[in-house]
Protein backbone atom coordinates (compact mmCIF):
# COMPACT_ATOMS: atom_id res chain seq x y z
CA UNK A 1 0.00 0.00 0.00
CA UNK A 2 2.66 2.42 1.09
CA UNK A 3 4.98 1.49 -1.77
CA UNK A 4 2.22 1.88 -4.30
CA UNK A 5 1.40 5.29 -2.87
CA UNK A 6 5.03 6.42 -3.08
CA UNK A 7 5.36 5.09 -6.62
CA UNK A 8 2.30 6.98 -7.76
CA UNK A 9 3.52 10.19 -6.15
CA UNK A 10 6.93 9.87 -7.82
CA UNK A 11 5.37 9.24 -11.23
CA UNK A 12 3.20 12.29 -10.89
CA UNK A 13 6.24 14.33 -9.99
CA UNK A 14 7.83 13.86 -13.42
CA UNK A 15 5.38 15.81 -15.62
CA UNK A 16 5.07 18.28 -12.79
CA UNK A 17 8.84 18.87 -12.85
CA UNK A 18 8.77 19.51 -16.57
CA UNK A 19 5.99 22.01 -16.20
CA UNK A 20 7.86 23.73 -13.41
CA UNK A 21 11.12 23.82 -15.37
CA UNK A 22 9.35 25.42 -18.32
CA UNK A 23 7.64 28.00 -16.13
CA UNK A 24 10.85 28.63 -14.22
CA UNK A 25 12.80 29.20 -17.41
CA UNK A 26 10.06 31.41 -18.81
CA UNK A 27 10.01 33.50 -15.65
CA UNK A 28 13.77 33.92 -15.66
CA UNK A 29 13.67 34.98 -19.31
CA UNK A 30 10.69 37.23 -18.77
CA UNK A 31 12.48 40.39 -17.60
CA UNK A 32 13.69 42.54 -20.49
CA UNK A 33 17.27 42.08 -21.55
CA UNK A 34 19.57 39.22 -20.76
CA UNK A 35 22.59 38.42 -18.64
CA UNK A 36 24.81 40.69 -20.72
CA UNK A 37 22.53 43.72 -20.46
CA UNK A 38 22.45 43.26 -16.71
CA UNK A 39 26.21 42.84 -16.68
CA UNK A 40 26.69 46.10 -18.57
CA UNK A 41 24.25 47.87 -16.25
CA UNK A 42 25.94 46.55 -13.11
CA UNK A 43 29.33 47.66 -14.30
CA UNK A 44 28.05 51.06 -15.38
CA UNK A 45 26.62 51.57 -11.91
CA UNK A 46 30.12 51.22 -10.49
CA UNK A 47 31.51 53.60 -13.11
CA UNK A 48 33.08 50.87 -15.23
CA UNK A 49 32.65 50.57 -18.97
CA UNK A 50 32.07 47.35 -20.85
CA UNK A 51 33.73 46.61 -24.14
CA UNK A 52 30.76 46.76 -26.52
CA UNK A 53 32.25 44.55 -29.20
CA UNK A 54 32.91 41.85 -26.61
CA UNK A 55 29.30 42.04 -25.42
CA UNK A 56 27.92 41.41 -28.87
CA UNK A 57 30.25 38.52 -29.45
CA UNK A 58 29.27 36.94 -26.14
CA UNK A 59 25.58 37.40 -26.85
CA UNK A 60 26.01 35.30 -29.94
CA UNK A 61 28.15 32.70 -28.16
CA UNK A 62 25.67 32.23 -25.34
CA UNK A 63 22.82 31.94 -27.81
CA UNK A 64 20.84 34.87 -26.39
CA UNK A 65 19.80 35.82 -29.90
CA UNK A 66 17.97 32.49 -30.23
CA UNK A 67 14.22 32.22 -29.63
CA UNK A 68 13.08 31.31 -26.13
CA UNK A 69 12.01 27.77 -26.92
CA UNK A 70 15.36 26.94 -28.51
CA UNK A 71 17.17 28.21 -25.44
CA UNK A 72 14.87 26.17 -23.20
CA UNK A 73 15.27 22.94 -25.15
CA UNK A 74 19.01 23.37 -25.22
CA UNK A 75 19.02 23.79 -21.44
CA UNK A 76 16.60 21.02 -20.51
CA UNK A 77 18.34 18.67 -22.93
CA UNK A 78 21.55 19.21 -21.02
CA UNK A 79 19.82 18.82 -17.67
CA UNK A 80 18.43 15.44 -18.70
CA UNK A 81 21.99 14.31 -19.34
CA UNK A 82 23.07 15.66 -15.98
CA UNK A 83 24.69 18.77 -17.41
CA UNK A 84 23.26 21.90 -15.85
CA UNK A 85 25.31 24.17 -18.08
CA UNK A 86 27.82 26.88 -17.33
CA UNK A 87 27.22 29.92 -15.18
CA UNK A 88 27.66 32.96 -17.43
CA UNK A 89 28.95 35.05 -14.60
CA UNK A 90 31.51 32.69 -13.11
CA UNK A 91 32.32 30.53 -16.17
CA UNK A 92 32.08 27.56 -13.83
CA UNK A 93 29.84 24.51 -14.18
CA UNK A 94 26.54 25.16 -12.44
CA UNK A 95 26.55 21.81 -10.64
CA UNK A 96 29.89 22.54 -9.06
CA UNK A 97 28.80 26.01 -7.89
CA UNK A 98 25.67 24.69 -6.22
CA UNK A 99 27.23 21.67 -4.52
CA UNK A 100 30.03 23.74 -3.07
CA UNK A 101 27.48 25.71 -1.11
CA UNK A 102 25.24 22.82 -0.14
CA UNK A 103 27.07 21.43 2.90
CA UNK A 104 26.91 24.68 4.83
CA UNK A 105 23.36 25.37 3.69
CA UNK A 106 22.21 22.00 4.97
CA UNK A 107 24.10 22.44 8.26
CA UNK A 108 22.57 25.83 8.81
CA UNK A 109 19.07 24.68 7.88
CA UNK A 110 19.24 21.62 10.13
CA UNK A 111 20.69 23.62 13.01
CA UNK A 112 17.92 26.16 12.65
CA UNK A 113 15.26 23.46 12.48
CA UNK A 114 16.61 21.79 15.60
CA UNK A 115 16.85 25.08 17.44
CA UNK A 116 13.28 25.92 16.46
CA UNK A 117 11.91 22.61 17.68
CA UNK A 118 14.02 22.47 20.80
CA UNK A 119 12.76 25.87 21.86
CA UNK A 120 9.23 25.83 20.47
CA UNK A 121 8.09 22.42 21.73
CA UNK A 122 8.69 22.86 25.47
CA UNK A 123 7.56 26.48 25.45
CA UNK A 124 4.43 25.62 23.49
CA UNK A 125 3.54 22.82 25.90
CA UNK A 126 4.27 25.00 28.90
CA UNK A 127 2.15 27.86 27.56
CA UNK A 128 -0.79 25.55 26.93
CA UNK A 129 -0.64 23.71 30.22
CA UNK A 130 -0.07 26.86 32.24
CA UNK A 131 -2.47 28.97 30.22
CA UNK A 132 -2.67 32.66 31.30
CA UNK A 133 0.17 32.29 33.77
CA UNK A 134 2.91 34.93 33.95
CA UNK A 135 5.18 32.60 32.03
CA UNK A 136 2.58 32.19 29.29
CA UNK A 137 2.19 35.94 28.95
CA UNK A 138 5.93 36.38 28.88
CA UNK A 139 6.44 33.84 26.10
CA UNK A 140 3.40 35.07 24.20
CA UNK A 141 4.81 38.62 24.19
CA UNK A 142 8.21 37.41 23.04
CA UNK A 143 6.49 35.23 20.47
CA UNK A 144 4.49 38.08 18.97
CA UNK A 145 7.60 40.24 18.74
CA UNK A 146 9.42 37.35 17.08
CA UNK A 147 6.59 36.88 14.61
CA UNK A 148 6.32 40.55 13.79
CA UNK A 149 10.01 41.24 13.21
CA UNK A 150 11.38 40.36 9.79
CA UNK A 151 14.51 38.22 10.19
CA UNK A 152 16.67 40.41 8.02
CA UNK A 153 15.78 43.50 10.04
CA UNK A 154 16.67 41.67 13.23
CA UNK A 155 19.97 40.74 11.57
CA UNK A 156 20.70 44.33 10.52
CA UNK A 157 19.97 45.68 14.00
CA UNK A 158 22.13 43.02 15.61
CA UNK A 159 24.98 43.74 13.19
CA UNK A 160 24.74 47.46 13.81
CA UNK A 161 24.75 47.06 17.57
CA UNK A 162 27.63 44.61 17.42
CA UNK A 163 29.78 46.85 15.21
CA UNK A 164 28.97 50.18 16.79
CA UNK A 165 28.85 49.19 20.45
CA UNK A 166 31.05 46.12 20.72
CA UNK A 167 33.34 46.61 17.74
CA UNK A 168 32.79 43.04 16.61
CA UNK A 169 31.50 41.57 13.42
CA UNK A 170 28.65 39.09 13.56
CA UNK A 171 28.40 38.37 9.86
CA UNK A 172 29.75 35.27 8.19
CA UNK A 173 30.18 31.76 9.55
CA UNK A 174 33.94 31.67 10.14
CA UNK A 175 36.65 33.83 11.64
CA UNK A 176 38.96 35.17 8.99
CA UNK A 177 41.80 32.76 9.82
CA UNK A 178 39.54 29.75 9.24
CA UNK A 179 37.71 31.01 6.17
CA UNK A 180 39.67 29.08 3.61
CA UNK A 181 41.44 26.68 5.94
CA UNK A 182 40.89 22.96 5.39
CA UNK A 183 38.38 21.28 7.69
CA UNK A 184 39.71 20.48 11.13
CA UNK A 185 38.40 20.20 14.67
CA UNK A 186 39.41 23.79 15.30
CA UNK A 187 37.48 24.91 12.23
CA UNK A 188 34.37 23.03 13.35
CA UNK A 189 34.72 24.72 16.73
CA UNK A 190 35.01 28.07 15.00
CA UNK A 191 31.89 27.30 12.97
CA UNK A 192 30.00 26.38 16.15
CA UNK A 193 31.04 29.64 17.80
CA UNK A 194 29.61 31.59 14.85
CA UNK A 195 26.62 29.60 13.69
CA UNK A 196 24.42 30.32 16.72
CA UNK A 197 23.95 33.94 15.66
CA UNK A 198 22.37 33.18 12.26
CA UNK A 199 20.53 30.24 13.80
CA UNK A 200 18.87 32.47 16.37
CA UNK A 201 18.16 35.17 13.82
CA UNK A 202 16.72 32.70 11.35
CA UNK A 203 14.90 30.69 14.00
CA UNK A 204 13.07 33.42 15.88
CA UNK A 205 10.02 33.86 13.73
CA UNK A 206 9.61 30.15 13.01
CA UNK A 207 9.97 29.44 16.72
CA UNK A 208 7.42 32.07 17.58
CA UNK A 209 4.88 30.73 15.13
CA UNK A 210 5.40 27.12 16.20
CA UNK A 211 4.96 28.09 19.84
CA UNK A 212 1.63 29.63 18.95
CA UNK A 213 0.55 26.62 16.89
CA UNK A 214 1.61 24.15 19.55
CA UNK A 215 -0.18 26.11 22.24
CA UNK A 216 -3.41 26.36 20.26
CA UNK A 217 -3.42 22.69 19.23
CA UNK A 218 -2.64 21.46 22.68
CA UNK A 219 -5.35 23.63 24.20
CA UNK A 220 -7.84 21.98 21.87
CA UNK A 221 -6.81 18.58 23.16
CA UNK A 222 -6.32 19.27 26.84
CA UNK A 223 -10.02 19.48 27.60
CA UNK A 224 -11.07 16.43 25.64
CA UNK A 225 -12.90 13.70 27.60
CA UNK A 226 -10.08 11.18 27.06
CA UNK A 227 -7.72 13.45 28.95
CA UNK A 228 -10.13 13.68 31.84
CA UNK A 229 -10.59 9.92 31.79
CA UNK A 230 -6.87 9.27 31.79
CA UNK A 231 -6.44 11.72 34.64
CA UNK A 232 -9.27 10.01 36.56
CA UNK A 233 -7.49 6.71 36.12
CA UNK A 234 -4.54 8.20 37.98
CA UNK A 235 -1.96 8.61 35.16
CA UNK A 236 0.85 10.97 36.14
CA UNK A 237 0.31 14.44 34.71
CA UNK A 238 3.58 14.48 32.75
CA UNK A 239 3.06 11.10 31.17
CA UNK A 240 -0.54 11.89 30.42
CA UNK A 241 0.19 15.09 28.53
CA UNK A 242 3.22 13.75 26.70
CA UNK A 243 1.68 10.49 25.64
CA UNK A 244 -1.69 11.60 24.33
CA UNK A 245 -2.48 15.28 23.63
CA UNK A 246 1.09 16.24 22.65
CA UNK A 247 1.25 13.41 20.17
CA UNK A 248 -1.79 14.76 18.41
CA UNK A 249 -0.78 18.39 18.71
CA UNK A 250 2.61 17.69 17.19
CA UNK A 251 1.17 16.99 13.72
CA UNK A 252 1.87 20.50 12.41
CA UNK A 253 5.54 20.05 13.33
CA UNK A 254 5.74 17.01 11.14
CA UNK A 255 3.98 18.78 8.29
CA UNK A 256 6.58 21.54 8.39
CA UNK A 257 9.35 19.05 7.63
CA UNK A 258 8.09 19.19 4.08
CA UNK A 259 8.68 22.92 3.95
CA UNK A 260 12.10 22.51 5.49
CA UNK A 261 13.47 20.77 2.41
CA UNK A 262 13.30 23.68 -0.03
CA UNK A 263 14.46 25.86 2.86
CA UNK A 264 17.80 24.07 2.59
CA UNK A 265 18.44 26.17 -0.48
CA UNK A 266 16.26 29.20 -0.38
CA UNK A 267 16.11 29.48 3.41
CA UNK A 268 16.19 33.06 4.48
CA UNK A 269 17.81 34.42 1.35
CA UNK A 270 17.59 38.00 2.50
CA UNK A 271 18.96 37.26 5.95
CA UNK A 272 21.84 35.26 4.52
CA UNK A 273 22.41 38.13 2.09
CA UNK A 274 22.60 40.68 4.89
CA UNK A 275 24.79 38.46 7.05
CA UNK A 276 27.02 37.43 4.12
CA UNK A 277 26.61 33.76 4.93
CA UNK A 278 28.42 31.34 2.60
CA UNK A 279 25.22 29.44 1.87
CA UNK A 280 23.39 28.92 -1.38
CA UNK A 281 20.69 31.55 -0.74
CA UNK A 282 22.76 34.60 -1.70
CA UNK A 283 24.16 32.81 -4.75
CA UNK A 284 20.63 32.07 -5.91
CA UNK A 285 19.53 35.65 -5.40
CA UNK A 286 22.55 36.92 -7.31
CA UNK A 287 21.92 34.49 -10.13
CA UNK A 288 18.33 35.72 -10.39
CA UNK A 289 19.34 39.39 -10.25
CA UNK A 290 22.11 38.90 -12.77
CA UNK A 291 19.86 36.85 -15.06
CA UNK A 292 22.47 34.12 -14.97
CA UNK A 293 19.91 31.81 -16.52
CA UNK A 294 21.38 28.34 -16.16
CA UNK A 295 22.46 28.87 -12.58
CA UNK A 296 19.12 30.38 -11.60
CA UNK A 297 17.23 27.71 -13.53
CA UNK A 298 19.11 24.92 -11.79
CA UNK A 299 18.36 26.45 -8.42
CA UNK A 300 14.67 26.71 -9.12
CA UNK A 301 14.52 23.20 -10.48
CA UNK A 302 16.28 21.93 -7.38
CA UNK A 303 13.91 23.88 -5.15
CA UNK A 304 11.00 22.28 -6.88
CA UNK A 305 12.44 18.78 -6.52
CA UNK A 306 13.11 19.32 -2.86
CA UNK A 307 9.58 20.58 -2.27
CA UNK A 308 8.12 17.49 -3.90
CA UNK A 309 10.39 15.16 -1.95
CA UNK A 310 9.83 17.08 1.26
CA UNK A 311 6.07 16.89 0.97
CA UNK A 312 6.27 13.18 0.30
CA UNK A 313 8.49 12.62 3.32
CA UNK A 314 6.23 14.58 5.62
CA UNK A 315 3.14 12.76 4.37
CA UNK A 316 4.77 9.43 5.10
CA UNK A 317 5.98 10.55 8.52
CA UNK A 318 2.53 11.83 9.39
CA UNK A 319 1.02 8.48 8.54
CA UNK A 320 3.58 6.70 10.63
CA UNK A 321 3.14 8.92 13.66
CA UNK A 322 -0.59 9.38 13.55
CA UNK A 323 -2.44 6.11 12.91
CA UNK A 324 -5.63 8.03 12.15
CA UNK A 325 -4.15 9.23 8.85
CA UNK A 326 -4.46 6.66 6.08
CA UNK A 327 -3.26 6.52 2.49
CA UNK A 328 -5.95 6.62 -0.06
Partner 1 sequence: MAHLMLSAAVLPMLAIPAVAQTATGQAPGLAQMVEAGELPPVVERVSDEPEVVEPLNAVGDYGGDLRIYLRGSSDHNHILRVVGPQGLVRWDPDYTEIVPNVAESFEVTEGGRVFTFHLRDGMKWSDGEPFTADDIMFNIEDLVMNEDFAPTPPRYMSGGEPMKVEKVDDYTVRFTFKEPYGDFLAELASPLGQHPVLYAKHYCSQFLPSYNDSLDKLIEANDASDWQNLFLQKCGDLEIPARWGNPERPTLDPWVIKEPYVGGTTRVVLERNPYFWQIDTEGKQLPYIDQVVAPVDQDVESLILSVIGGNVDFGLRHIDPPSNRPVLAENREKGDYRFFEAKSTGGTDMSISLNLTHKDPDLRELFNEEDFRVALSLGMDRQEIIDTVMLGEGEPWQQGPFEDHPYYHEQIATQYLEHDPERANELLDGLGLERGEDGIRRMDNGEPVTFQVDVIPTFDPTWVDSLQLIEQQWAELGVDMEINPMERTFFYERTSNSNDHDAAVWRATQSWVPGQIPQMLVPVHHDSRYGIAWRDWYLSGGAEGEEPPETIKTRLELYEKARGLTDPQERIETFHKIADIAAEEFEVIGVSTAVPTYGIVKNDLKNVPDSMPSSWYYPTPSPTLPQTWFWQDE
- Name the site residues for partner 1 (rule: CB under 8 A): 31-33, 37-54, 56-57, 61, 85-87, 89-93, 95-97, 100-101, 156, 159-160, 163-164, 167, 169, 171-174, 176, 179-180, 273-274, 276-278, 280, 282-283, 286, 289-291, 295
H-assigned helices in 223-292:
225-232, 237-243, 245-249, 251-266, 269-275, 280-289
Residue 249 or 268 with smaller CB distance to partner 1 = 268
Closest separation between CB of residue 84 and partner 1, Å? 10
Q: By C-beta, is 39 or 126 nearer to partner 1?
A: 39
Provide the minimum distance between the beta carbon of 9 and partner 1 in the complex, in angstroms, as a whole number. Answer: 32
Could you give the angle at which helices 94-129 and 134-148 cross, rounded to 10 degrees?
150
Q: Kindly state the smallest distance separating residue 308's Cβ from partner 1, in Å.
A: 25
Nearer to partner 1, 217 or 280 (CB): 280
Taking the least distance from each CB to partner 1, the nearer of 140 and 286 is 286
Of residues 81 and 233, the one with the C-beta less far from partner 1: 81
- Shortest CB 22 distance to partner 1, Å: 22
d(CA 316, CA 2): 8
203 with 115: CB under 8 angstroms? Answer: yes
What minimum distance in Å lies between the beta carbon of 97 and partner 1? Answer: 4
Compare residues 7 and 31 and give the one whose CB is closer to partner 1: 31
Helix (H, G, I), strand (E, B) or coil at 86: strand
Reading phi first (left if > 0) and then psi (alpha if -120 to 50, else beta), residue 175 is in beta
Nearest distance in Å: CB 102, partner 1:
11
- Per DSSP, the three-state class of 172 is coil
The smaller minimum CB distance to partner 1, of residues 45 and 326, is found at 45
CB of 79 to partner 1, least distance (A): 14
Spell out the alpha helix ranges (H) of the chain. 2-29, 35-45, 52-62, 68-80, 94-129, 134-148, 151-166, 185-222, 225-232, 237-243, 245-249, 251-266, 269-275, 280-289, 293-321
Alpha-carbon distances of 149 from 80, 120, 142, 205, 299, rounded to whole Å: 42, 17, 11, 7, 28
How far apart CA 209 and CA 146 sit, in angstroms, is 8
Taking the least distance from each CB to partner 1, the nearer of 4 and 46 is: 46
The contacts of residue 256 (CB under 8 Å, 6+ apart) are 210, 314
| Calpha distance 151→276 (Å, rounded) | 14
Q: Which residue, 123 or 272, is less far from partner 1 as judged by CB?
A: 272
Nearest to 213 by CA among 223, 224, 205, 202: 205
Least gap, CB of 179 to partner 1 (angstroms):
5
Smallest distance, partner 1 to C-beta of residue 290, A: 6
Amino acid sequence: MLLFYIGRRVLWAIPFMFAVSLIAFALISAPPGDYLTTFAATLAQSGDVVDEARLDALRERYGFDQPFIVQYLRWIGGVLQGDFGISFEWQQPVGQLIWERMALSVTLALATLMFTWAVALPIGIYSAVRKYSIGDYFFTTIGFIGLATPNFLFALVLMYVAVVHFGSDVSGLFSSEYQDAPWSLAKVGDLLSHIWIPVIILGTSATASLVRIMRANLLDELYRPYVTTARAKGLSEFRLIMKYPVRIAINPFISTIGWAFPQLISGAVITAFVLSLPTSGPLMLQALLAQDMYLAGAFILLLCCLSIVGMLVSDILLAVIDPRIRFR
